[in-house]
A = this chain, B = another copy of it.
């Protein structure tokens, strides 16, 4: 999403008002890579503005999402919001639930079967596994696979079996 100043203009341009509550939320969201839930964001906001209402946080998040300044992610549990609106995907730690942005390339090399008639318009990829912190906590420390690229090996897709007898 854009920075607080730009959002201020964008809101006014839409006839929406810019309140202290919204400015605070703009600031808390901008550059936030934690993919907070409404409750989590409320906790942050409440620390700085004790009077703010959870309802207001929900409202503002909804507004921002409607303006395309925020992506919302429904991954089970509370909806999480992502100020990063560049085309990207996510990796979620199955142990601690943390979400990380990942950038997937060569998407057009995928072969998709079974769409018959379905007109795709976008795709969302969510990797699940263990985040760096949980990996070291759970197993013996890992060292390889440092920076740069990584490939997804498993999960090739075999021919579908018949399902109804």
Which A residues fall within an 8 A CB radius of B? 3, 30-31, 33, 74-77, 79, 83-84, 86-89, 91, 93-94, 100-133, 135, 142, 145-161, 163-165
Contact = CB atoms under 8 A, between A and B. Distances in A.
A73 B100 CA distance: 20
A123 to B, nearest CB: 5
Contact of A79 (B76, B107, B125): B76
Given A31-B165, A128-B124, A103 B114 contact: yes
B111 A105 contact: yes
B76 A91 contact: no
- Per DSSP, chain A at the interface is loop
A76 to B, nearest CB: 3
Contacts of A122: 127-129, 154-155
A9 to B, nearest CB: 15
Nearest to A136: B117
22 contacts: A31-B164, A74-B76, A86-B157, A86-B161, A93-B118, A100-B118, A101-B160, A102-B115, A102-B118, A103-B113, A104-B112, A104-B113, A110-B110, A112-B151, A113-B149, A116-B147, A118-B130, A118-B131, A122-B128, A123-B126, A124-B126, A125-B125
B120 A127 contact: yes
A163 B110 contact: no
